[in-house]
Amino acid sequence: MTDGGGRPVRHRRTARVLLLDEADRLLLLQVSDGAAPGRRWWVTVGGGLEPGEDLRAAARREALEETGIALGDADLGAHVWTRRVIHGYSDRVVEQDEDFLLARLPAGAVVDGSGSDELAARWFSTAELRELPEATWPRDLADLFPGILAGGWVGEPRRLPDAVEDAPGAPSMAQVTTPAPSPPPSPSAT
C-alpha cells in the first residue's frame, strides 16, 4: 500500500516509555528522517512490538535497546496514554497504534545509547520541554507531560486524539485522512 505521494505505508503497534528520573525529568531521544538526516526532532523511548510480544515486554526491550537501561517490573508503571497516529517521513508513512507506559529510572542506572541509532538522549524538565525549539512526538507532549507528574495514575489509559505528524521537511500528510480510531487495548495486552 502507498500514500498519495507513492510512499510505502505500514502499520504497527508500539510501546512508548515515559521514562522519568529522580528529578521528574523526561528522557527523550533525538531522531532524524533517514532520507533527510539534517531534519531532527525528539521522541519518547520505544518502538514496535515484535510478533507475540506483549506491551510491557516490548517497553522493557525497547528501553534496553535504546538506552541501555534494564527496567524491572517494579520500574515500569501505569499504562497512561493510547493514541493512533500517522507519521509521515520523506520516504515512507507509518500508521501506529501507540501505547505509553510510565517508568522510573532504576537507582544507579545510566543512559547508554551506544547500541541505538538515535542521535542523542537528553533529560527534559517541564519548563525545558516548553522551551524546546525542535518538534516532539507527540507534538503536544509539553502540554501532556505535567498531567503525568501530578501522579497517582489510576484506571484506564487516557485516549489521546488521533494525530498526523509529519517529520520536519517531509511531504505533508494533509492529503491522508486520519484513520478511524482503533479499539481500546484489551486487558490482556497491558
**Mean pLDDT for all residues in the chain:** 86
Domain ranges of the chain: 9-174
Pick the more confident residue, 186 or 8: 8
What mean pLDDT do residues 19-40 have? Answer: 87
CA distance 185 to 175: 28
pLDDT of 190 reads 44
Residue 84's pLDDT band (boundaries 50, 70, 90)? very high
CA distances from 80 to 2, 154, 156 (A): 32, 9, 7
Q: Is pLDDT at 175 greater than 50 in this prediction?
A: no
pTM of the model: 0.85
Nearest residue to 65 via CA among 114, 12, 102: 114
Pick the more confident residue, 8 or 184: 8
Return the C-alpha cell found at 142: 509539553
* Sequence-distant (≥ 6) Cβ neighbours of residue 9 within 8 angstroms: 1, 2, 3, 92, 93, 94, 95
Residue 119 CA, distance from chain mean position: 15
pLDDT of 177 reads 44
- What's the CATH architecture for 9-174? Alpha-Beta Complex (3.90)
